[in-house]
Amino acid sequence: MTKIIQISDTHIVPEGTLAYGQVDTAKALAETVTTINRLLPQVGPIDLVIVTGDLTEHGSEEEYRRFRSLMADLQVPYRVLPGNHDRREAMRTSFADAHWMPPTGPLDWQIDFEDFAVVGLDSLTANSAHGTLERATLSFLTDALAHLGGKPVLVGFHHPPFVVGIEAMDAQNLINANSLSTALSLHAGQVLMVCGHLHRGIAGLFCGRLCQVCPGTSHAVTLDQRANAGNSFIKEPGGLLLHEWRDGGFLSHLVPIGAYPGGYPFK
Ligand SMILES: [Fe+2]
Ligand SMILES: [Fe+2]
């Protein structure tokens, strides 16, 4: 049974600093790694962990080094995708030793598992908060789907393809989502889209397929759907998603990050 874990928006900053002067994102990522390793005996084996963008706050090589050092204890292989806070070339350089990191072009990759394939798409638009799937990335997706035939596919990227009612974030989502819809409409098999950017757990339908937005590992975007609410964060608990293939379909579990008392019998 194929299982992958998704984490997102780790926003690592240089050592000795806090994100926005408020959030210890490195501590949150360390807790995330511990949470995943602790889960393994209960839900493993896990085939892959994917990180759906905003690994760092500023896209510096120093921050990527810190990210990699915090992830070094993870007992599962992982792959990453860029978000709007990342810088493509710094990320490429920082993961140059990873066999799945493309030497040129968008940071797209694919891996096939027994039950489903995972296709990672680069939605970073340089110097912009919103996302775009460039022509090369759309071709990568179209080719991947053509080769998969009807095999189920989990498609990961950073920017959500739909609006969620949080005005400041909706203005910076995936601006050419129609192109994604066109590409996916040709696929006969099941599709699960997974993304990040919103720092909130949200599930919605996009072009008739399920799209899961993963919470961040530390801070959350404030759920405020009033007009002109501005853009702010709230220190809600971080979370991760466990996506698995069960009984002929995709299924996603939301797991809070951290250690909680439990295992109490229901009697
Ligand atoms: Fe983010
Ligand atoms: Fe983002």
Span 34-69, pLDDT tens digits? 999 999 999 999 999 999 999 999 999 999 999 999
How many beta carbons lie within 10 A of that of residue 89, not counting itself?
Answer: 11
Neighbours of 211 (CB within 10 A): 22
Q: Give the ligand with the smallest distance to the CA of 10.
A: 1
Ligand nearest to the CA of 12: 1
Tokens read off for 97: 């030793």
Helix axes 25-43, 61-71, angle to 10 degrees: 30
In the reported structure, the alpha carbon of residue 198 is separated from the centroid of ligand 2 by a whole-number distance in angstroms of 7
The pLDDT tens digits for 77-86 are: 999 999 999 9
Give the Cα separation of 231 and 128 in Å (integer).
16
Ligand nearest to the CA of 168: 2
Spans of all domains in the chain:
3-256
Q: What's the 258 CA to ligand 1 centre distance in angstroms?
A: 20
Reported pTM: 0.98
Q: How many CA atoms lie within 13 A of 225 on its CB side?
A: 3
Q: What's the pLDDT at 182?
A: 98
In angstroms, how far is the first alpha carbon of the chain from the final one? 32
Ligand nearest to the CA of 131: 2
Fold of 3-256: Purple Acid Phosphatase; chain A, domain 2 (3.60.21)
Tokens of 236: 């809600």
pLDDT band at residue 138, thresholds of 50, 70 and 90? very high
pLDDT (mean) for 14-33: 98
In contact, 252 and 192? CB cutoff 8 Å: yes
Closest ligand to C-alpha of residue 56 is 1
Distance between Cα 264 and ligand 1 center (Å): 35
Alpha-carbon separation of residue 235 from 6, 137, 180, 215 (angstroms): 20, 34, 32, 12
Distance CA 173, CA 161 (A): 6
Question: For residue 70, which of 40, 38, 29 has the smallest C-alpha distance?
Answer: 29
Confidence of residue 177 (pLDDT cuts 50, 70, 90): very high
Distance of CA 189 from the midpoint of ligand 2 (Å)? 29
> Which residues, in sequence order, are CB contacts of 72 under 8 Å at separation 6+?
none
Q: pLDDT at position 113, please? A: 98
Tell me the CA–centroid distance for residue 9 and ligand 1, in Å: 4
- Average pLDDT of span 112-119: 98
Residue 102 Cα, ligand 1 centroid: separation in angstroms? 23
Distance (Å) from CA 228 to ligand 1 centroid: 20
pLDDT, residue 127, reads: 94
Asked whether the CA dihedral 226, 230, 231, 236 is positive or negative, the reply is negative
Instruction: Write out the residues surrounding ion ligand 2, Cβ under 5 A.
Output: 54, 83-84, 197
Q: How far is CA 55 from CA 8, 82, 111, 122, 154, in A?
A: 7, 7, 20, 13, 20
Which pLDDT belongs to residue 156? 99
Distance 267 CA to ligand 1 centre (A): 42
